[in-house]
Amino acid sequence: MTLRVTSLSYLLLPLMIVSCAGQLHAQEPLSAQETAARIDRIFEKAWQENEITPAPLTEDHEFVRRVYLDLAGRIPSVSETRQFLSDSAPDKRRLLVERLLDSPAYVRHLTTSLRNALIPQAESQAQFRGLIPGFEAWLWQHVSEESPWDEIVREIITAPVGSQQPVEGVIASPTSPDAFFAVRELKPESLATGTSRAFLGVRLDCAQCHDHPFDKWRQQQFWSLAAFYSGFQSGAEAPGSPAAMMQRQERQGQRSITIPETGEVVDAEFLTGSVPEWTNDASSREVLAGWITDPENPWFARMAVNRMWGQFFGLGIVHPIDDFSENNPPSHPEVLDLLAEQFVAHDCNLEFLVKTLTATRVYQTTSRQTHASQEDPTQFARAALRGLTPEQFFDSLAEAVGFYQPYRSDNPFVVATDTPRARFVDLFRDEADSPLQKETTILQALAMMNSDFVGTATSLENSQTLRAVAEFPLMSDEERIETLFLATLSRLPTSAERQQFGSYVSEGGTTADSAHAMADVFWALLNSSEFLLNH
């Protein structure tokens, strides 16, 4: 029997989701703590069956650094670390997560993470960078208002394209999701692949020119999905600039497309094989958005929770996170199903996912390997060592050294490319599928060792942090070293480190000057692998 879905069906269906077995299950909402406990029980069972000894829980200094990086996009300040370490409340970890969720830093970090995921071309291709501020401003508004993920996705897919044009790097309209279409040049085939990967975790790319060689997808299915965007076909190709391209008019009522290689005309159809039930007042993109975000969609919720899991653990339950296929099964399908079911039960609330994931014992394990059975990262028996994103890296560096960028009062939606942050982000950008695969290049290492910014930030004359530590009159050298450790590594030095660095400073380092020796210690901590990793 063919399933027909109208564009408004997602508003009328009961709260259900398809499990891996393809059956529908109504779900009662569980709290984040209850969901986390169930996840832990699933993992405990898996560890026992596979004879795995999980790593112990993190110490407080490990947790506070990790959760600040994951939620705020930066390491904590010295005062924030001291406050958490001295807190004796039994639920202080949960309370810290809730405080961070209410902070502008969380909104900014999640906005940046979603922007990088949804329009990655905007960073790598200079002609599209002018679209970033408008898209970020639009995302910022939704994240700050705690908009449900399905609402955000529907707005992207159904956006009235053409409402803004980038001119000399400035966005005329400050908030718009148009960039999702502009970076894909309004091409139906590019929008089909972008939509399926970003929101469903389905890689259709290889089915564009022929049936997929390694998966079930056929060329006709690819173009049937592209047909939902066929209204952007206008005969003549648009000029290459985003401004000109975004002025193209969408031809309403287009529900079919011609496959270039074969000349075959195919109608719009969902990837499940179901045929849309068209209505006169619903556009093709509205119908597509309704199907994608429908609670019965077999991919949407699972892709959303898998993306968030990958962000917090460095590795998706399905990995790569946007490669759901029969040949790439999830490592822990019960966990994926549970999270997806509860995500839908909580109306696609992203903060619910954050509270759930950070409350698990799995998230709170230490990254130190304490048993040989913890070697396989897909078992999540210990926390993975994750490379920082370029934004996390610079914002953590800025926090450690006391550097603050001035606010652009003339136009906050200008793309500023000649700032220390912009230069670092550009230099440290990479194409790795996972933060577990990040590698430091020679240029990046040199930037940390010898760049003007790092040199200035670690000098006694210019570093806010270093100058405050060195010049504070009531502080001993041991306390100064302790403060530098808290500022960079979010922990106190070990006994061996106290002795080693204490001797270096008291002897004046290489210049017989204790203040300059303190600057050497600061520079060494900033260049340590412990600072450069989320662990």
For the chain, give the mean pLDDT: 85
Q: Which of the pair, 244 or 431, is modelled with greater confidence? A: 431
Q: Which of 442, 446, 459, 437 is nearest to 519 (CA)?
A: 459
Q: What is the pLDDT of residue 485?
A: 98
Rounded to the nearest 10 degrees, how much is the dihedral formed by the CA atoms of 282, 283, 287, 290? -80
Q: What is the pLDDT of residue 4?
A: 33
As a whole-number percent, the residues of the chain with pLDDT over 90 amount to: 61
Q: Is 228 helix (H, G, I), strand (E, B) or coil?
A: helix
Confidence at 226, pLDDT banded by 50, 70, 90? very high
Q: What is the pLDDT of residue 464?
A: 87
- 24: DSSP letter: E
CB count within 10 Å of CB 343 equals 27
pLDDT average, residue stretch 479-488: 97
- According to DSSP, the β-strands at 275-276 and 4-5 are parallel
Q: Which of the pair, 108 or 21, is modelled with greater confidence? A: 108
Q: Which of 12-21, 27-36, 237-246, 251-260 has the highest mean pLDDT?
A: 27-36
pLDDT of 343 above 60? yes
Q: Is 226 helix (H, G, I), strand (E, B) or coil?
A: helix
Q: Which of 315, 325, 115, 101 is nearest to 205 (CA)?
A: 325
Q: Which of 506, 502, 468, 467 is nearest to 482 (CA)?
A: 502
Of all residues in the chain, what percent are helix, strand and coil, respectively (each to 5)? 50, 5, 40
Q: Which of the pair, 135 or 420, is modelled with greater confidence? A: 135
Q: Which of 375, 378, 533 is nearest to 55 (CA)?
A: 375
Confidence at 9, pLDDT banded by 50, 70, 90? very low
pLDDT average, residue stretch 430-443: 61
Q: Which of the pair, 148 or 238, is modelled with greater confidence? A: 148
C-alpha to C-alpha distance for 204 and 211, rounded to whole angstroms: 10
pLDDT of 347 above 50? yes
Q: Which of 82-86, 393-397, 529-533 has the highest mean pLDDT?
A: 82-86
pLDDT of 31 above 90? yes
CB count within 10 Å of CB 44 equals 14
pLDDT of 282 above 80? yes
pLDDT of 245 above 70? no
Q: What is the pLDDT of residue 415?
A: 52
- 3-state SS of 180-213 is HHHCCCCCHHHHHHHHHHHHHCCCCHHHCCCCCC
Q: What is the pLDDT of residue 441?
A: 62
As a whole-number percent, the residues of the chain with pLDDT over 70 amount to: 83
- 368: DSSP letter: S
C-alpha to C-alpha distance for 528 and 436, rounded to whole angstroms: 17
Name the pTM for this structure.
Answer: 0.89
Q: What is the pLDDT of residue 117?
A: 94
What residues have CB less than 8 Å from 515, skipping those under 6 apart?
460, 470
Q: What is the pLDDT of residue 15?
A: 34
C-alpha to C-alpha distance for 383 and 154, rounded to whole angstroms: 34
Q: Which of the pair, 127 or 331, is modelled with greater confidence? A: 331
Identify whether the C-beta of residue 212 lies closer than 8 Å to the C-beta of residue 218.
yes
Confidence at 166, pLDDT banded by 50, 70, 90? very low
pLDDT of 337 above 60? yes
Q: What is the pLDDT of residue 320?
A: 94
CB count within 10 Å of CB 146 equals 12
Distance of CA 404 to CAs 64, 165, 398, 400, 401, Å? 22, 31, 7, 11, 9
Confidence at 211, pLDDT banded by 50, 70, 90? confident
pLDDT of 210 above 90? no
Q: What is the pLDDT of residue 428?
A: 76
Identify whether the C-beta of residue 346 lies closer than 8 Å to the C-beta of residue 356.
no
- According to DSSP, the β-strands at 386-387 and 166-167 are unpaired
Q: Is 361 helix (H, G, I), strand (E, B) or coil?
A: coil
Q: Which of 211-215, 238-242, 377-381 has the highest mean pLDDT?
A: 377-381
Confidence at 249, pLDDT banded by 50, 70, 90? low
Rg (CA), the chain: 25
Distance of CA 40 to CAs 56, 57, 283, 353, 360, Å? 14, 13, 44, 15, 6
Identify whether the C-beta of residue 342 lies closer than 8 Å to the C-beta of residue 325.
no
pLDDT of 383 above 80? yes
C-alpha to C-alpha distance for 227 and 245, rounded to whole angstroms: 19
Distance of CA 255 to CAs 53, 187, 284, Å? 55, 15, 7
Confidence at 217, pLDDT banded by 50, 70, 90? confident
Q: Which of the pair, 453 or 438, is modelled with greater confidence? A: 453
Confidence at 169, pLDDT banded by 50, 70, 90? very low
| Least-confidence region, from 181-190, 231-240, 293-302, 349-358 | 231-240
